[in-house]
C-alpha cells in the first residue's frame, strides 16, 4: 500500500488552515467529496482521526494538531526545494496564486494579469478576491495586491503606480430633485448606500480637506457588501454611493453618474504588489514581478488599458 503523497498532505493542511472542507476544496481545485475521501484514506492509513467533524464545523484533534505541527514546516521545505529547481527553468510555467481586494483586481486584470497570461501561456494564474487582509504565506498565495499602507513590513513591495481616490456619486436623475451636497455633513440629508465591511462592521464614509477630516455614518434604505451591487443601486437612483474611483471612473466619464464632494477626496496611497522574500523564486513569479515593474513605470497607460 502506497504512503500518502504531497496532495494528501496538502489537503490536510488546507483544511486546517481554512477550517472547512468546502473552502479547502475550492482552494485545491477539487470536489468536496474527493477531498473528504482523500482525508479518510489518510486517516485510515495512520490509524487516527485528524479532524473532528460536525455538520457545522471542522477542527483538529490532538493528533491532528501534532501532525500539522510537523508536516506543515516539512511541506514548506519541500516546496522550497521545488521552487529552487523551478527557478532554474528558462520558461515560466506552473501556477501563481494572487490575493487582492476586488477593486485592485479589476485595476490590474487587463494591464497586468491578462497581459502576463498572453506572454506566458504555460503559467496558470489563480486570482482570488476578498475584502479581508490575509496572510498570503499562511494561506498559500504567492503574491498579494493591496493599498501601499496595508502591505506588511516584512514583504517585498512593488509599486503599481496607480493613485487611488474615493468618489461620492449619484445618478443624474437623483439630482434632478435634490441639491448636491457641498460638505460631508450634508450627506446626512441624503439616502445613501451603506457599506458592510468583511468584519461585519458598517463603514463610515471618510473625507479630508485642508487638514480637516470627517467620518460620516450615513443613512440609507439598503446595505451592501460588494461594489458592483452598490453601483447598480446608485445607477438606479436609490441613493448616493461611496466607491473607489476606479470602480465608477467609466460611469463618471460617460455621465451615467455625477460626482460630488470631489474636493473632499484627496489622493490615497497607490496599489502595491507584494510577496515574501525567497531565495529561489520561481521563473513564473520573477516574470510576473518584472511585468508589474513595467506596468508600474507607466501607470497612466495601464489605467487607460484597464478602462472599459
pLDDT digit string, tens, across residues 259-304:
999 999 988 888 899 999 866 788 899 999 999 998 876 654 444 4
| Cα-to-chain-centroid distance, residue 37 | 30
Q: With contact defined as beta carbons under 8 Å apart, do 302 and 295 qualify?
A: yes
Tell me the CATH architecture of domain 166-264: 3-Layer(aba) Sandwich (3.40)
pTM of the entire structure?
0.61
Please report the pLDDT score of residue 308 as a whole number.
Answer: 40
Name the pLDDT band for 77 (thresholds 50, 70, 90): confident
DSSP 136: T
The pLDDT of residue 303: 42
Question: Above pLDDT 90, what percent of the chain?
Answer: 41
Start-end ranges of CATH 1.10.10.10 in the chain?
A: 6-86
Q: What is the dihedral of CA 85, 86, 90, 91, to 10 degrees?
A: 160
Closest CA to 184 of 262, 267, 269: 262
Sequence ranges of the chain with CATH classification 3.40.190.290 = 166-264
Q: What are phi and psi of 209, to 5 degrees?
A: -160, 125
| Domain covering 94-162+269-306 assigned CATH 3.40.190.10 in the classification | yes
Residue 307 has pLDDT above 50, yes or no: no
Calculate mean pLDDT across residues 243-253: 92
The architecture in CATH of the region 6-86 reads Orthogonal Bundle (1.10)
**pLDDT for the residue numbered 86:** 62
Domain with CATH 3.40.190.10 in the chain: 94-162+269-306
Q: Is the pLDDT of residue 56 over 80?
A: no
Tell me which DSSP letter residue 187 carries: G
Amino acid at each position: 500500500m502506497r504512503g500518502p503523497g504531497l496532495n494528501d498532505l496538502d489537503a490536510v493542511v488546507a483544511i486546517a488552515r481554512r477550517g472547512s472542507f468546502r473552502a479547502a476544496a475550492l482552494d485545491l481545485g477539487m470536489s468536496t467529496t474527493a477531498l473528504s475521501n482523500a482525508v479518510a484514506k489518510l486517516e485510515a492509513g495512520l490509524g487516527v482521526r485528524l479532524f473532528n467533524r460536525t455538520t457545522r464545523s471542522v477542527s483538529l484533534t490532538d493528533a491532528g494538531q501534532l501532525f500539522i505541527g510537523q508536516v506543515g514546516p516539512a511541506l514548506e521545505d519541500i516546496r522550497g526545494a521545488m521552487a529552487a529547481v523551478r527557478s532554474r527553468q528558462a520558461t515560466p510555467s506552473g501556477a501563481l496564486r494572487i490575493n487582492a481586494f476586488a477593486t485592485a483586481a479589476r485595476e490590474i486584470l487587463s494591464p497586468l494579469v491578462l497581459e502576463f497570461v498572453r506572454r506566458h501561456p504555460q503559467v496558470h494564474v489563480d486570482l482570488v478576491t476578498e475584502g479581508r487582509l490575509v496572510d498570503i504565506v499562511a494561506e498559500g498565495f504567492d503574491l498579494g495586491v493591496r493599498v501601499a499602507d496595508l502591505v506588511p513590513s516584512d514583504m517585498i513591495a512593488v509599486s503599481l503606480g496607480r493613485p487611488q481616490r474615493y468618489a461620492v456619486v449619484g445618478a443624474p436623475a437623483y439630482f434632478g430633485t435634490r441639491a448636491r451636497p457641498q460638505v460631508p455633513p450634508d450627506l446626512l440629508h441624503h439616502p445613501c448606500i451603506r457599506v458592510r465591511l468583511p468584519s461585519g462592521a458598517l463603514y463610515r464614509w471618510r473625507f479630508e480637506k485642508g487638514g480637516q477630516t470627517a467620518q460620516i455614518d450615513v443613512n440609507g434604505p439598503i446595505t451592501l457588501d460588494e461594489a458592483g451591487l452598490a453601483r447598480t443601486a446608485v445607477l438606479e437612483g436609490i441613493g448616493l454611493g461611496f466607491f473607489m474611483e476606479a470602480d465608477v471612473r467609466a460611469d463618471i466619464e460617460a455621465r451615467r453618474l455625477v460626482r460630488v464632494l470631489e474636493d473632499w477626496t484627496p489622493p490615497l496611497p497607490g496599489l502595491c504588489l507584494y510577496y515574501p522574500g525567497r531565495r529561489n523564486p520561481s521563473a513564473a513569479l520573477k516574470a510576473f514581478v518584472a511585468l508589474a515593474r513595467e506596468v508600474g513605470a507607466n501607470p497612466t497607460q495601464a489605467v487607460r488599458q484597464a478602462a472599459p
